[in-house]
A and B are shown apart, each in its own frame.
Chain A
Amino acid sequence: MSIVKRRSGELRAPTKMTDTNLLTMITICVFVAMYIFAVLFLKKGFLKPQTFFNILNANAALIILACGMSLVMITGGIDISVGGVTALVSMSCAVYLDHKGGSLPMAVLMAVGIGLAFGLVQGYLVAYLEIQPFIVTLAGMFFARGATTIVYNKPFNVANEDFVKLKATRILIPYMGTYNKRGKYIPAYIEIGVIVAIALAILLFVLLKWAKPGRNFYAVGGNRQSALMLGVNVKRTIFFSHLICGLMAGIGGFVYFMHVGSGSPQHASGAEMNAIASSIIGGTMLTGGVGNIIGTVFGVLSLALIQNIVSSAGLDDAWWTGITVAGMLCIFLVVQSIIIARRKKANAAAAKQ
C-alpha cells in the first residue's frame, strides 16, 4: 500500500487510488470472483491445483507476449506482430532442429534473434520515422506470417532428442498433487515455460515500477509533450518499448514452441489479439500511461479461465470461445472508458476550484 500512497502523492490525484491500481484491482477481483464461481457452481475439477497449473502451462507464452504488449501499450503504441513472430520463431526453430540438425542453445539464440530483429526494425520505423505503430506492426505481422510459410509450409512435429527431453521436463510442485480414484498420488507439475514467464513478468514489473527507464515509459505514454520537456528521450523510449516487445515475442515464441513441440504456419493465430485483450483486461489503457504487469498476468489468467468455464459449462461449440472473449473485452473496454471519463470530469472540477 505504501506504493499507492507514494504514487498518488506524486500525482496529487483528487481520488485515493491511481488509475493503474484501480484497474488492476478490478481485474484481480474479477479473476478471484470467477474462480470462486467456477469452484462453487461447476465441476469440482476447479478445486484441484492442477487445473490452475494447466491454465498456467497452456498460457505461459501468452503471458510473455502480453507483458511485452503491455509495455508498448503503456508507452502509447501497439504491436500486433507478436503472434506472427511467435509462429515464425516456432517454425524456424522446428526446421532448424529437425531438418538442419541444429543444437538447442543455437535455437534459443535464433528465437531471441528473430524477436530482436523485428523489435529493432519496427522500433526504428515507429520511433524515428514516426510512422503509425499499428500500420508498421500490421505489416510486421503479415511479413512474419508470410515468412513462416516461406520457411516451411506444412505442420510437423519435432523429433530432436534434446528438444523432446526439454519439452517433457516437468517441474513437480510438492504438496499440491491429488489422489485419483484408486488412491494413486498424482503430483502437480508446471512446465519450464511457466518459470520463464513468471521470471520475465517479475523482471518487467520491477523495471516498470522502480527503475528510471521504466518510469520513462509511463511518462512518455501519459503525455509525450511534457515527457519531452522533462528531459525524457521520447524517441529512444518508444524505440526501446518496441525492442523489448520484440524480444519478449521471440522468447514467448520459443516458450510456445516448447509447449506445442511442433512448427506450423497456423500456430499462434490470433495470439496478438489475445495479448491485446489480456493487456486491456489487465487494466492497461490504450491511451498510454496506465498499466501494470501484475494486472496483465491476471488478464491472461482471466481470459483463459473464462474460456475454461465456458467450455466446462457445456457451451463447448467452437464459436462460444470467440464470443465470450469478445464479450469480456467489450465489457472491460466500456468500463475503462467510463472510469476514465469520470476521472477526467473529477480532475477538471478539482482544477477549477
Chain B
Amino acid sequence: MAKNNAQPQKAGIAGLFRHQIMIPIAALLLLVLFNLIADPSFFKITLGNNSDGNPVLSGYLITIIDSGSELAILALGMTLVTAASGGQDISVGAGIAIAGSVLLRVLCGTETSPETLHAPVIVAFLVSCLVAMLFGAFNGSLVAFFKIQPMIATLILFTAGRSIAAWINNNQLPNVNERSFSYYGTYIPGIPIPTPFFIALACFLVTWLLLRFTTLGLYVQSVGINEKTSRLNGLNPELIKLLTYILLGLCVAIAALIKVSRLSTINYSVIAKDIEMDAILAVALGGNALGGGKFSMSSSVLGAYVIQFLTTTLYKFQVKADALPAYKAVVVIILVVMSAPAVREKFSILIKKLRSDKTAAQNS
C-alpha cells in the first residue's frame, strides 16, 4: 500500500488498467466467463473427419483460431502503421481484394476455371506480395511525403480498391481447381489444426524476431512519439513511415492468400468486407494508442483473436451477420470510453477520494 501511495499514477485498479496487455486479457476473460455461464458447450472441441476423410478438429474455439488468423496478421501490420504514423490504414479490405485478384490472375491467366495452374502458387503469391507492397508504398508515400492524414490518404484506395480488383480480372470470378491451393486456407491432410493458424503464428514469430533483433521497433516508436525529435536524432521519419506501410502491404498479401484459398475463388465486393474495422479494433483493443507512439505487438494479436472470439460468440447467439456491426460498435464505444484519458482521470480521482475517505475514517 505504501508503495502504491508513493506512485499515485500506478495506484490500485487504475494501475492494473494501465498494463497494456491487461485490456485484451480482461476482455477475453469477460467473454470466456459469459460463454461459460451462457452455454459451456462453446468450449467443446471434437475430432472428426472432413469430406475427404482427413482428421480435423472442430468446435467454436477452432473456428476462432482459424478465422481470426487473417485478422491477427493484419493487426501486426496495422500496429506498426498506427505506431509510426498515428493513423490507421482503412484500405486493407480493398487491398486484400486487389492482392487476391492478382493471385488468381497469375494462377488462372485469363481462363475462368483452368484445368492446370498457369504458374506455381509461390510465384503467384510473390507477385501478389509485390503488388500489395506497391499499393502499400502508394499509401505510405501519400502519408509520409505529402503529409496527408493516413485515414484520408488510404480513403483513395478504399474507394478504388475493389474496382481495381474487379478490373484486374476483367470482372471474372476465376476458380482454382487445384486441390493443394486450398491447403493454405483450410487443412493440410493429416494435420487436424487449420493451416491459417500456423501461418499467423509464423508471421507473429517473424515479426517478433524482427522487433527483437533489429531497431525497427524503436525507430517506429520514436517517429510515432515525436517526429521532429527523431529527425534531429538522425532518423528519417518519412522512410520509416513508408516502410511500415510496405510491411502492412505484405501482411495484406498474406491475408489475401488465406482468404482466397479458403474459397478457391474471390468475390470482389464481399471479400474481407469490414475487415479494416476489425483490424483497427484489434489494435485499439490491444491498448495501443491510436495516436501513435508506443505499441505492443502481442497485445494487438491477442486483441485480434478476442475480436474473433466476440464475433463467434455473437454468431453462436444467432445474431445475423448484417446486424453484427451494431453490437461490435457498442463494444468499441465501451472500450474507447473506458480507455479515454478524460474518463481515466476521473476514475483515478474517484479511487483516490475513496481511499482518502477510508484512511480518514480509520484515523478518526
Which residues of A approach B to under 8 Å, CB–CB?
A: 78, 125, 128-132, 134-136, 138-143, 145-147, 149-150, 153, 265, 270, 273, 276-277, 280, 286-287, 317-323, 325-327, 329-330, 333-334, 337-338, 341
Binary flags per residue of B321-364, CB closer than 8 Å to A gives 1, else 0: 01111111110110011001111000000000000000000000
Q: Which residue of B lies closest to A145 (CB)?
A: B325
- Judged by a CB distance under 8 angstroms, whether B158 is at the interface is yes
Would you call A318 and B166 a contact (CB within 8 A)?
yes
CB distance from B101 to the nearest CB of A (A): 11
Q: Which residue of B lies closest to A338 (CB)?
A: B146
CB distance from A331 to the nearest CB of B (A): 10
Would you call B340 and A130 a contact (CB within 8 A)?
yes
For the complex, give the distance between the alpha carbons of A319 and B98 in Å.
Answer: 13
Would you call A270 and B329 a contact (CB within 8 A)?
no
- Return chain B residues, CB-CB under 8 Å to A78: 151
DSSP class of A's interface residues: helix, strand, loop or mixed?
helix
For the complex, give the distance between the alpha carbons of A287 and B153 in Å.
Answer: 13
Q: Which residue of A lies closest to B151 (CB)?
A: A134
26 contacts between A and B (CB under 8 A): A129-B342, A129-B343, A130-B340, A132-B291, A135-B284, A135-B336, A142-B329, A143-B330, A145-B322, A146-B323, A153-B320, A270-B159, A273-B158, A286-B152, A317-B167, A318-B163, A319-B171, A321-B163, A322-B160, A322-B163, A323-B164, A326-B159, A329-B156, A333-B156, A337-B147, A337-B148
For the complex, give the distance between the alpha carbons of A106 and B160 in Å.
Answer: 39
Would you call A323 and B167 a contact (CB within 8 A)?
yes
Report which of A132, A270, A334, A341 forms a contact with B290, defined as CB distance below 8 A.
A132
- Given the interface pairs A78-B151, A341-B147, the reply to whether A150 lies near B156 with Cβ below 8 Å is no
Q: Which of A280, A319, A323 has the most CB of B within 10 A?
A: A319
Q: Which residue of A lies closest to B152 (CB)?
A: A286
Q: Which of A142, A273, A337 has the most CB of B within 10 A?
A: A142
- Given the interface pairs A142-B277, A143-B329, the reply to whether A326 lies near B156 with Cβ below 8 Å is yes
Would you call A131 and B340 a contact (CB within 8 A)?
yes
CB distance from B252 to the nearest CB of A (A): 17
Binary flags per residue of B62-76, CB closer than 8 Å to A gives 1, else 0: 000000000000000
- Return chain B residues, CB-CB under 8 Å to A320: 163
- Return chain B residues, CB-CB under 8 Å to A319: 162-164, 166-167, 171
